[in-house]
Structure 1
Amino acid sequence: MQNNGVKITKIKITEFRRFQNVEFDIGDCITLISGQNGTSKSTLLGMLCQPFSFGVAQRKSAGATDNSKYTSNYHGQKLTEHKDLTGNLFIYTCENVFRLSKLHDTDPTKYMYRLYLKGDCITKESPIYDSGLLVRAQRRGEKKQIRFVAGPGISSEAGEGNFPHPVIYFGLNRHWPLALVKKMKIDSDPEIDAESRNWYIENYNSVLLLNESANQAEFITAAESTKRDFIGVSSRDYNSESFSAGQDNLGQILTAILSYKRLKSNLGEKYQGGLILIDELDSTLHADAQMRLLEMLCEAARNYQLQIVATTHSLYMLDKAFNSHLKTKIKVIYLKREDDRVVDSGFTSFDEIEHNLQVKATVPKIKSRDKVSLIFEDDVSKNMFFGIIGGSIKKYLNQVIMESLNAGSLKNLAALSARVPELSKVIFIPDGDVKSNIKKKNNLIFLPGDKRPETLVYECLYNLSEADPFWHACSGTGYSKQFAIVKYKANEKSKAWYKNWFKEQSPFWGKACKIAFEKWADSNKEMCKRFCEEFFEAFNKVLPGTLPKETTQKIIDKYSSSSVEEEDVAIHDTPSVCKKEKSKKTKVANENMQLSFLTQGESS
């Protein structure tokens, strides 16, 4: 059974250049590090490769067998005997990635971080199993220059240096043009097995989307330190000497993967995967090739237990990391500068990254809110509704007046709503005078009271005292009960009479007759409370979870209790019974209410 290999799980940085008290999770498969220029992306790559060493290549113990205290997996093996296909060791340090400044990188106390690892070969007995691998700086003798050392803690013993793990790093020097290489050797028959050659050509053609079945692998040796050796391609009409920068770049990455393929074959069961670090992964490749490269790297990481960490500025690659079938295999770290520090941006979407990389901002879109439509018999019914409910939920409602339809028609429309999708978000609200003749439905509720709104308001005002603050709160000059009620006399008050009376009085009651309907609601709290509860219940069935509970409860509470004693106002079929003399306590309360009404006026 194939093991999962050794993987970095997290880097926790105490301090390192612009990093301070920050940590980053590293993905098992591919991790893309992105950010604007100057956000220490390459520095982070160097920090990842620093504490690994596949064998000892320097000083007195160079070429010694492995004796790591972190894992016994490679004990007794000379790991430096294993080299990649270009003849280089699987060893890189941060100095291969970034240059240490003689002016600024001098204080060893300002460089410390931990690398946390996992793998089948790292047992609980390992000194880094829980605490990770500590990397810190120390001076090089008497010089001001610093160097980095690794260990389980501040002090370390033999076998407690770097962790034995193979690393290949690609910097931007891989793009050094072949045209500038003075000496170059091409081997058309490289010592590469047929399976690897076929794999190379297949993936080369696939990533670049080429239809060149006659391509053959060849090996390029550049006799200059500025250019890496790599496997290239010879076709019918060109070879590696005329490679474009993109072809060159891809060839080097494919060569690295084949190096791990060979290492896996050579180590057998001892193989624990490896690490590939790439600066500017997308560089020189067109958009579709970038996507295909990501797909190829994901497959290679799975087949050879590789962990691939790369920097990129490619919006195309980053978009695919968030919004394609590869999103479960790609981890994105986006770095951001805050003053003189570099931090984890915390971005969780491609949209945030795109805006930051392009230094742009977008005005937030106003989201269209789902609304419930209310259908009333007429404008007076609508005004009564809002006089009771108030205006706090208007943004959740569409109001429709259907003066051409009577209550029976509204009932029939309500019955159709179960079969007509367009009516699914509609509540029908006829006047209360028809409730005894029409059966209630989920989306059909009646205004409170058993009469038309015009009649209910008339009877309410009829029963008011002439000293009630209501009369002073109304707009206009000289408005009184005598003007509004006593002046109007009729032996028989018909529907038309009440409507005409209401129409003549309404200009004195403010916008939408708010003063009159609020007075009626205040005089009939229990009735209004039941109506509010019925309406909110109907609303939540039509559009669940939309109305804020605190808003609806506040409206209901308005009719549930009062801080002052209130008279019990009865609504009669005819206005023949007047109110009794108010108690002294009620008069005090009315005086307070008057002050409130006087501040509303016409603006209400």
Structure 2
Amino acid sequence: MTKLNTLDIINFRHIENQTVEFGKYLTVITGLNGTGKSSILGWIAQLCDYKSKDITILDTFFKEDYKNVFKFCPSNDYDKEYEVRFNYISENSFIEESKQIATRYVEKTEKSPERYRTDFDGRGKALDHPIIYMGLKRLIPLATENKITTFKSTIPSKYSITYSNLIREIFVLVNDKINPEAIKSTNKKLLAIQTDTYGHLGNSAGQDNISQIISALISFEMLKEKKGANFKGGIILIDELDSTLYAASQCKLIDILFRFARKLEIQIIFTTHSIEILEYLSPKSGNETQINYFNLVDGKVKNTINPSIEYVKRKIKNEVAQSQNIEKINFICEDEVAQYFTKNLINNSELKKIINVEKGPFPDGTIITMAESNHSIFKNVYFILDGDVKEKFKNRKVPPRTIFLPSNSRPETILYRFILNLSDEDEFWDDEKNFTKSTCFNNYTNDGKGTHKSWFVDATNKKNFGVGYSKILNRWKKDNSSEVEDFLNSIRKIM
């Protein structure tokens, strides 16, 4: 599969030396008006030039014309040369490749009209990758179009069912019988909603917008089925995703986009100003979903990656933060090691501001008893058990307000085995101080629980594990990001 990783904008209008990060499945471009968000979609569309003659469900190709994604200004653009660099993973997920794009204006001659010329790595080729670009023309209401006609689109019955089910899911339509109707107008092609009581002329702007997005999802599903093992992924680009949609539909649409992106192994990249979408996605940001916020600083665009939702809301609403006292939620761990582990896991998340982590010593049995108690003293308290306690709940219900630390072992055991398996040349070691695997595990080679605990609190090791064990915990987190995210989500789920 080919996946975009980052876009380095070296020079484009009022954007210089900024990086956009792409999620494995979803990427959000948000921020102030006039910061170049839509241009990011244009650069991606320009990067991709799919050579195959495969067609979408709307009988169009998986590519986009340059003139439809960029409009250059004679007075401000014609004397400039713009340059960006894409970094992407291509087929072999261990190999990162890059492609640099430069565009410059070509003067009008007898043989050539005035135009912009695009160079890929010095007149090389664009990326042979399928895309569907959905610009602002899709938002022009059908009622304002001068010419609307139907056209024949061969839609296999199973995809008609998919279309109908997705429309029902987003708009919560229960009784209507829904069929797709292929139509085209001056500005767009789409599958419109047809029911027993109305056809495409009765579609709302929101239904029109959603129908076009669903058409793109189905098109990639058809392409993947056709290509089989030769399918290498693809990209859907959507400008102003939230336009014409009410809040509940926006969040339902996000769920569907993520579901299809994961199933089809494609990337969906969109711009939005919707606070509802940003609030919904903020807790999910990470490797699979990236949020890029474009702000203006001294007239230049600055991109902030995965900002807090509070930051984004203040920027979008142009409000100053109000100071407030936040009453933190108490979580109780078994012991000091579990406390350090928990604090480190939540350190770079929004949970750090609202959670207070207390420690025992409490054996797991005591914590379980507290969690299962109906006494009012425990009513607003949450509990964190070591991972090795999961075994006790194979055949019984987990107590309320209770979660487990990652893995199926005690924290000391997790870290003991993780560090033991690191390379002798890993960045964790400090050869200058002779803090090596040999000195770290000196006298602790017996693989037992008592050994793990003694090793972890050993005075020499503790000194090299960082303040609050930060060095060893951060090293573990670097290789176990999915487990970290699962743990954070388990906290969010019970709060």
Matched, 1:149 2:118: yes
Matched, 1:169 2:129: no
- Alignment length, in residue pairs? 330
The structure with the largest alpha-carbon Rg is: 1
Matched, 1:337 2:303: no
Selected match of 1:8 from 4, 9, 12: 4
Displacement of 1:122 in angstroms is 7.9
Residue correspondence of structure 1 range 133-532 to structure 2 within 5 A: 133-142=99-108, 147-151=116-120, 153=121, 155-156=122-123, 160-186=124-150, 190-222=153-185, 224=186, 226=187, 228-323=188-283, 329-345=288-304, 348-366=307-325
Are 2:108 and 2:115, in contact at CA under 8 Å, matched by a contact in 1? no
Structure-2 separation of matches of 1:346 and 1:268? 34
Gaps of 5+ in 2: 330-376, 378-466, 468-495
Question: Higher relative CO (CA 8 A, sep ≥ 6), structure 1 or 2?
Answer: 2
Matched, 1:86 2:86: no
Q: Secondary structure at the match of 1:345?
A: strand
Q: Which amino acid aligns with 2:132?
A: I
Displacement of 1:247 in angstroms is 0.3
Superposition TM-score, scaled by structure 1 size: 0.51
Residues 249 and 368 (structure 1 numbering): CA distance in 2 closer, same or farther, change over 3 Å?
Answer: closer
Displacement of 1:213 in angstroms is 5.0
Structure-2 separation of matches of 1:369 and 1:209? 37
Residues 108 and 122 (structure 1 numbering): CA distance in 2 closer, same or farther, change over 3 Å?
Answer: farther
CA RMSD of aligned residues (A): 2.7
Over residues 57-101 of structure 1, what are the superposed CA-to-partner deviations in whole Å (9 max), with x where a residue is unaligned?
A: xxxxxxxxxxxxxxxxxxxxxx1x212222222112553223111
Residue matched to 1:51: 47
Q: Secondary structure at the match of 1:13?
A: strand
Over residues 271-293 of structure 1, what are the superposed CA-to-partner deviations in whole Å (9 max), with x where a residue is unaligned?
A: 11111111100000110000000
Structure-1 separation of matches of 2:67 and 2:184? 24
Matched, 1:116 2:80: no
Structure-2 separation of matches of 1:252 and 1:184? 15
Displacement of 1:240 in angstroms is 1.5
Structure-2 separation of matches of 1:133 and 1:260? 24
Structure-1 separation of matches of 2:74 and 2:17? 24
Are 1:320 and 1:326, in contact at CA under 8 Å, matched by a contact in 2? no
Selected match of 1:104 from 64, 76, 87: 76
Displacement of 1:147 in angstroms is 2.2
Superposition TM-score, scaled by structure 2 size: 0.62
Structure-2 separation of matches of 1:278 and 1:345? 20
Over residues 284-332 of structure 1, what are the superposed CA-to-partner deviations in whole Å (9 max), with x where a residue is unaligned?
A: 0110000000000001111222111100000000000113x68764211
Residue matched to 1:515: none
Structure with bigger strand share is 2
Structure-1 separation of matches of 2:206 and 2:91? 37
Structure-1 separation of matches of 2:131 and 2:19? 22
Are 1:107 and 1:146, in contact at CA under 8 Å, matched by a contact in 2? no
Residues 361 and 163 (structure 1 numbering): CA distance in 2 closer, same or farther, change over 3 Å?
Answer: same
Displacement of 1:168 in angstroms is 0.9
Residues 195 and 368 (structure 1 numbering): CA distance in 2 closer, same or farther, change over 3 Å?
Answer: closer
4+ residue runs of structure 1 moved beyond 3 angstroms? 121-124, 141-146, 325-329, 366-370
Gaps of 5+ in 1: 56-78, 371-420, 422-544, 546-604
Structure-1 separation of matches of 2:226 and 2:328? 63
